[in-house]
Amino acid sequence: MSRQGVSRREFMRLAGTSALSAWPAAALAGGLPQAAQQTAPGPFLQVALVPCPDYGPETLAAAIRTGWRSSRPPDVRGKRVVVKPNMVDVSPDRPIHTDPRLIEALVAHLADLGAREIVLAEATSHNRDAEDLFRRAGYEALARRQGVRIVDLNYDDLTPVKCVNPKATLLREIALPRTIGEADILISVPKMKTHKLAGITLSLKNMFGILPGMVYGWPKNTLHWNGIPLSICEINGTVKTHYAVVDGVVGMEGHGPIMGTARKAGVLVMGDNALAVDATAARVMGVDPARVDYLAMAHKLRLGSVRPADIQVAGGAIDRFRSDFVLDPEYAQLRMVP
């Protein structure tokens, strides 16, 4: 069971006080602060919106190159790069997981740029049969083709990390998989989807999948009891995502993240600030990011920004890509006013 009702009340309580002042900057993967600070007037975050009408290898390779160039990508030369897809489950009928063709194109791109090691890592969230899921998702085969390692984060060695939130309770000490802790560069590659408990799920929510099930359960119910918005912010405030690529070629609308239906948006959303990427992807989906609990909370905590004025979007006006995803009726209030 989710504790969404409780988490919302908790959010409102927090939002009404000064508790949501920025947390101290975390310095984990890569040793850089998560929080993005505005140093001058005008947009200080950059996101690339790239048309990508299909999963053909040439289309994907070109789109990734374009998006990478038009954003502020990390320097991956000589680095250990961990790619985190979204694989909450796998279905032949529904686009639940990040498409393996996108992951493969990204892996090839990172290799071309000189990454020393590329690891594909995931802690599946409620089906703990990762061997089965990695195989059915197509990740096992692509890893073999590209010569990269797959890590089931659910059973990785653990590094305890102090949560950036000084008032954290259930996540006071985060059990972080060693693969994540030792990454030089962490790249979140979620599927663009609606979510029955969070409204939408993109690169910040995707980070639920770095926490190991053997500590947090399948599903990661501890995070639900902690409150979904707060858990998302505590994880992302503590562990830096260096880059995000949202798979919006074909996303999922309706009763996501598992039982929804395919929705073609024909776009990749890329950038080095996960919150700005998610805010932009939300607008593509016809969702007002300021109305999404966890994005609003992350904004208040200065993990980036959801404000259009703070985000320079390369690749064209968002309206050009807008494709209103069908929302779960419970989240109808998230719809962006045209």
Q: Which residues bind another protein (CB under 8 A)?
A: 1, 5, 91, 126-129, 131-132, 135-136, 155-158, 196, 213-219, 221-222, 224-225, 255, 258-259
Contact between 282 and 298 (Cβ < 8 Å): no
Q: Which residues pair with 302 in a beta bridge?
A: none
Cis peptide before 160 (omega within 30 of 0): no
Maximum distance among all Cα pairs of the chain, rounded to whole angstroms: 52
Q: How far is the CB of 278 from another protein (least distance, A)?
A: 23
**Closest CB to another protein among 72 and 225?**
225
How far is the C-alpha of 332 from the C-alpha of 206, rounded, in Å? Answer: 22
SS3 call for 269: strand
SS3 call for 152: strand
Q: How far is the CB of 324 from another protein (least distance, A)?
A: 21
**Closest CB to another protein among 75 and 132?**
132
Q: How far is the CB of 315 from another protein (least distance, A)?
A: 35
**Closest CB to another protein among 54 and 132?**
132
**Closest CB to another protein among 175 and 336?**
175
Where are any strands of DSSP class E within the chain? Answer: 45-51, 80-85, 117-122, 149-152, 158-162, 173-177, 185-189, 191-195, 199-201, 243-253, 261-271, 311-314
How far is the C-alpha of 190 from the C-alpha of 303, rounded, in Å? Answer: 18
**Closest CB to another protein among 126 and 145?**
126
**Closest CB to another protein among 222 and 312?**
222
Question: In 3D, which of 176, 98, 174 has the Cα closest to residue 139?
Answer: 98
**Closest CB to another protein among 11 and 134?**
134
Q: How far is the CB of 152 from another protein (least distance, A)?
A: 8
Q: How far is the CB of 231 from another protein (least distance, A)?
A: 13
Question: In 3D, which of 215, 186, 35 has the Cα closest to residue 121?
Answer: 186
Contact between 200 and 282 (Cβ < 8 Å): yes
Q: How far is the CB of 156 from another protein (least distance, A)?
A: 8
Q: How far is the CB of 132 from another protein (least distance, A)?
A: 4
SS3 call for 57: helix
Contact between 289 and 282 (Cβ < 8 Å): yes
